[in-house]
A and B are shown apart, each in its own frame.
Chain A
Amino acid sequence: MTFDVRRLVGRWSLRAASHAGRLTYLVVDMVRGLSEWRIYIPRTFEQAMSIGYGSLFIVLLVAGFTGAVTSLQAGYQFTGSVPLYIYGAVIGESVILELGPVLTGLILAGRIGARYAAELGTMRVTEQIDALESLGRSPVSHLILPRVLAGMMVIPALTMFANVVGFLSGWLAAKSSIGITNADFIFGARYYFRPFDLWYSMIKATFFAGAVTVIPCYIGYNTQQGAEGVGRATTLAVVAASVTILLLDTLLAKLLLNH
């Protein structure tokens, strides 16, 4: 039994080290590929338009409902026990610090991450990536950099839109459910607000954008074994990106808020 556990741990460690090595190699390739801007810049804008417009509706929808539900639950928990202006602080801070970036990241892990892994995985198993290499062209500059850079541009922007919509829907829900005045809500939101909160939200969104783009691109790029492999890569990409977002969320809270 002990022997089996050791073997299992050994195998997992080797696999993890192998993935870490290949992921690092891919990131190094991406940095090297930055000089080929004539190749990736036009493709980056195409990707950004595609994923930006395509994701805007679902991101805003989720943000809107999340802000409203946060407000209604805060009303249920705190009515009568705290001054009304506190609702402005609770809703504003919850949305900006946590719900906006994390929910946007998780939605986009499903939407963009799955798409990237499936696209690159299909290109790998149909030899399109080999074909690109055989033409002396870099798959990193043609396929991966545009996707990663588009995500890094679009995801923080989408997060900011989500913050605004979540905050506004929370405000409206608070007005209708607990009858808070605009002045009280704004006072609470401003009283506890620090400009760093917006920076923190933006920093989180940027890290999440890295997770949502680099990990699925890596997994899709290394897909094997036909259609089944593409399916497996897509699922794995969404799970890996989502887990990474949650880990980064904890790590960034520890590093940036509790120092």
Chain B
Amino acid sequence: MIELRKVSKRFVKHVVLDGVDLLVEDGQTVALLGPSGVGKSVLLKHIIGLIKPDSGEVLVDGLHVAALKRRELAELRGKIGYVFQNGALFDSMDVRENIRLGITDEQCSDDDKYCTDRVAECLRLVNLPPEVGLKYPAELSGGMRKRVGIARAIAGKPKYLLYDEPTSGLDPMNADVIDALIERLQEELGVTSVVVSHDVRGSFRVADKVALLWQAKIRAVGTPEEILASRDPAVQQFLERDLEMAVIQSESVGGGG
């Protein structure tokens, strides 16, 4: 379970999070929506301990993340897979080595056969052919980089998966491929996930629960149906704008084909 209790964070004078509460039950997928620059990625980085809150508590697996010692935090991070917005792949390593780095268990990471098999399995899970393993990140397309990022995040068999804008910068067709992949991974791996996005359509497809981060606070939380039915003007404004964009994009793709 992931729980944020009254989490606040400011950078110099800019308040990014102001008393944010969020609960993600085990096995659940929560989509965190909000406009660009509102602090969604900052919230996600609190969960994995890359950023510490100014006040409030972040609990993962019942552990108070900000209070963990170095070794305890490393152990906790071994249970969490983090998919970065632009992949954050190590450009000096090929795809195989990148994915292998995601195998966090010390005994497993020393076993060459296990690592080779696991890398191949992860590539298969993200629908990439084995030969991609020999390429370097600079040789991959945007969609492939995202998928390699996901493969690296799941290589350590995490209990939690955090996705930071997994479909940003992709065309609608590639975004659909990634959304389908997230859905399939949820079913196959049964992990607890938080998906940060500003793509309403994709988020509604993959999430059990949706939260809207608006002006440093969680403005609304609920099932996709509850959010769609919300009368809150901020929610309506955000949804309308994004769904309109999704319709325009899907029409242009349909027209082009």
Measured CB to CB, the residues of A under 8 A from B are 123, 126-128, 130-138
Contacts and interface: CB of A to CB of B under 8 A. Distances in A.
A22 B50 CA distance: 17
B85 A136 contact: no
The dominant DSSP class at the B interface is: loop
A35 B161 CA distance: 30
Given A126-B88, A128-B88, A128-B91, A134 B101 contact: no
Contacts of B88: 126-128, 130-131
Contact of B48 (A126, A134, A137, A138): A134
A135 B102 contact: yes
Contacts of B202: none
| Interface magnitude class on chain B | 20 to 34
A130 B89 CA distance: 11
A137 B84 CA distance: 16
Contacts of B77: 133-136
Contacts of B48: 134
Interface in B77-92: 77-78, 80, 82, 84-86, 88-91
B53 interface: no
B110 to A, nearest CB: 9
Nearest to B51: A130
Given A126-B86, A127-B84, A133 B101 contact: no
B34 interface: no
Given A128-B88, A134-B82, 18 more contacts: A126-B91, A127-B84, A127-B86, A130-B88, A132-B90, A132-B101, A133-B50, A135-B77, A135-B78, A135-B101, A135-B156, A136-B75, A136-B76, A136-B77, A136-B104, A137-B101, A137-B104, A138-B74
Given A134-B48, A136-B104, A127 B85 contact: yes
Contacts of A131: 82, 84, 88-90, 152
Contacts of A128: 88-91
Contacts of A126: 86, 88, 91
Interface string B19-58: 0000000000000000000000000010010100000000
Nearest to A130: B50
A134 B75 contact: no
Interface in B88-117: 88-91, 101-102, 104
Interface of B: 45, 48, 50, 73-78, 80, 82, 84-86, 88-91, 101-102, 104, 152, 156
A130 B84 CA distance: 9
Q: Nearest 8 CB-CB pairs, A to B?
A: A136-B77, A131-B88, A136-B74, A127-B88, A134-B82, A136-B78, A127-B84, A136-B104
Contacts of B45: 130
A136 B152 CA distance: 13
Nearest to A46: B92
A130 B90 CA distance: 11
User: Which of A127, A130, A137 has the most chain B CB atoms closer than 10 A to its own CB?
Assistant: A127
B91 A135 contact: no
Contacts of A130: 45, 50, 84, 88
A144 to B, nearest CB: 15
Contacts of A134: 48, 50, 77, 80, 82, 84
A134 B85 CA distance: 13
B162 to A, nearest CB: 8
29 contacts: A123-B90, A126-B86, A127-B84, A127-B85, A127-B86, A127-B88, A128-B89, A128-B90, A128-B91, A130-B45, A130-B88, A131-B82, A131-B84, A131-B90, A132-B101, A133-B50, A133-B77, A134-B77, A135-B77, A135-B101, A135-B102, A135-B152, A135-B156, A136-B73, A136-B75, A136-B77, A136-B78, A137-B101, A138-B74
A134 B91 CA distance: 17
A85 to B, nearest CB: 53
User: Which of A126, A127, A130, A134 has the most chain B CB atoms closer than 10 A to its own CB?
Assistant: A134
User: Which of A123, A126, A132 has the most chain B CB atoms closer than 10 A to its own CB?
Assistant: A126
